[in-house]
Amino acid sequence: MNGAPKYKEHILLKYRKEIILIFCSLLIFFTIGNVFISNKIDTNAIATANSYNVVYDGKSMGIVIDKSVADEVYRVAKAEIKDENGEHMKVGKELKYYLEYAEKEDITTKETLLDNLRSALAEDKESFQVKGYFLKIGDDFQVALKDEDDVKEVLKNAQSMYVAQVEGYDINLVRVPYTASVRMPVIVKNENFDEERALRTVADVAEDNNLDSDDNKDAETPIETVGISFAEDIQIVKGFVDKEDIADVTVATELITKENEEEKVYTVAKGDTLSEIAQKNDMKLTDLMKINPGIEKQKFIKIGQEIIVTVPEPELSVACEEKIVYTKPIQYTVEKVENKNKYTGTTTVLEYGTDGEMQVTAVVTKVNGYEKSRNILEEKVIKEPKSKVIEVGIKPFPSKGSTGNFVYPVVGSIVTSPFGYRRGKFHHGLDLGGLPIGASIRASDGGTVVFAGWKSSTYGYTVDIDHGNGVLTRYAHCSRVVVKKGQKVSQYQEIAKLGSTGNSSGPHVHFEIRFNNVAANPIKYLD
């Protein structure tokens, strides 16, 4: 009983290897059989396809045994379409082929296949590409145009936006070396253009508009366009393009000349300077001034003033060199003549200066109408400047103490209102005028400044000088005071500038001499 199980276990162990070998053999047999059957089915399927279905734009054109036959017929059909419509058209679609089985009688003849393709191409003619010209600007922009004439017209239109004498220049499209279809624009001068007749001087414009020629003396008159060019790299490439992608001249001109960025304006705030505004907007100060003509002539910029800080850029930029003629002033010089008999600080204008005038010829380079550089060719003096001659005193001041004598506080003045009653009121001083605001006011005698500043709405800016022994002189209506309270001054020393502050009817100095605070008539004491 106990030996039976042991005997059975021994039999399984004994034939274990043989059992595994038989199992593996059966697995390999069934796998190879399945592969063989599968390959046999595929081979049969391929063997039954004996032809190709020729398809154009999703439609069957016929059945052929050899694809090369359909390719040849298709070339003939396309050639006929080109002959009918000229060499400016191109069929963009290609034939497609699908394997299938066909009987001999189902095979399409060449003639029938050609007729079918002719009909299909005729119906699909609107989808054909046509010959055109791609106007490429830089690396990022292109527009398709119909022909060379349209290309030239578009470029000419772009030029005319910034160049006054564009009609004097022609555009030629020159083939780029070692290329078959690439052209580049070359701007050449039109030899038949009557430039002298086309040009108009500032004098002509002034006469036509009934303007005084002095109104235009600072105008810069173009006398010749030296050259025109495009600032970007331009290529014109011949090729085929879909009809709907071809732009007309008006649209293409708008595309290449439209400004891609809105003009930006900066509003001046408190504490702003032009250099700071330029720095804030990543600009050079010179560029900021160029796009804001006339701003360099302003003494100050005002809070709230609007300043252009960026200029919109079109796709195509036009550079132009113009020879211009304009006049500019030659500033007069100042000559000083010393007079040892007059005290230091005393000045007298002997001759008034006048500016001269210079005629300048220059070549100005502009891009899109904005000046980029200027090269001076010639400067010609047409009016010599006349120097201003000033007599200056060099005589040393007397001591800072009082001399007891009084001199006129302004040189070259006239009495505009005397001491005494006027218009029902008593005038306590002598008004000395006839000189411009800013003329020098000097101390009538030496002494100590006891008041310097704004005295009242009557006197305005005033200086009082104590000469000792109860004697005081007063100088009122000044535009500016140049001394301080407590300062010792000498006779003839400048103490203020003539003005019209306070209750004043015009530029003058109100001069008083007071003895123990009682006003006396200055005319009795002046030398």
97 and 74 Cβ atoms separated by less than 8 Å: no
Neighbours of 372 (CB within 10 A): 14
Q: Specify the pLDDT at position 33.
A: 52
- With cut-offs at 50, 70 and 90, classify the pLDDT of residue 13: low
Question: For 150-183, how does the pLDDT look when each residue is reduced to its tens digit (9 = 90+)?
Answer: 999 999 998 888 887 777 788 899 989 888 889 8
If pLDDT is split at 50, 70 and 90, which confidence band does 278 have?
confident
pLDDT the model gives residue 192: 67
In the predicted structure, residue 210 carries a pLDDT above the cut 50: no
Q: Partners of 389 in the beta sheet?
A: 335, 351
User: Tens digit of pLDDT for each residue in 76-121?
Assistant: 998 888 877 766 678 878 999 999 999 999 999 999 999 999 999 9
Q: Is the pLDDT of residue 260 over 80?
A: no
User: How confident is the model over 392-414, as a mean pLDDT?
Assistant: 87
Q: Judge whether residue 316 has pLDDT over 70.
A: yes
Question: What is the predicted pLDDT for the residue at 396?
Answer: 83
**In whole angstroms, what is the distance from residue 73 CA to residue 55 CA?**
13
**Share of residues in the chain with pLDDT > 90 (%):** 48
pLDDT reported for residue 215: 43
Kindly state the average pLDDT of the residues 506-522.
95
3-state secondary structure of 43: helix
What does the pLDDT look like over 399-409, one tens digit per residue?
788 888 999 99
pLDDT above 70 for 261: no
Joined tokens for residue 350:
């002997």
Q: What is the DSSP string of 373-393?
A: EEEEEEEEEEE--B-EEEEEE
The SS3 assignment for 23 reads helix
Provide the percentage of residues in the chain whose pLDDT is more than 70. 84
Give the mean pLDDT of 282-311.
Answer: 83
Looking at residue 424, its pLDDT comes to 85
What is the maximal distance between C-alpha atoms in the chain? 171
* pTM summary value: 0.52
pLDDT tens-digit series, residues 29-72 = 655 555 444 444 444 444 588 999 999 999 999 999 999 999 99
| Per-residue confidence (pLDDT) for residue 484, from 0 to 100 | 96
| Residue 212 reports pLDDT greater than 70 | no
Q: Rounded to an integer, what distance in angstroms lies between the CA atom of residue 6 and that of residue 2? A: 7
For 348-364, what is the mean pLDDT? 92
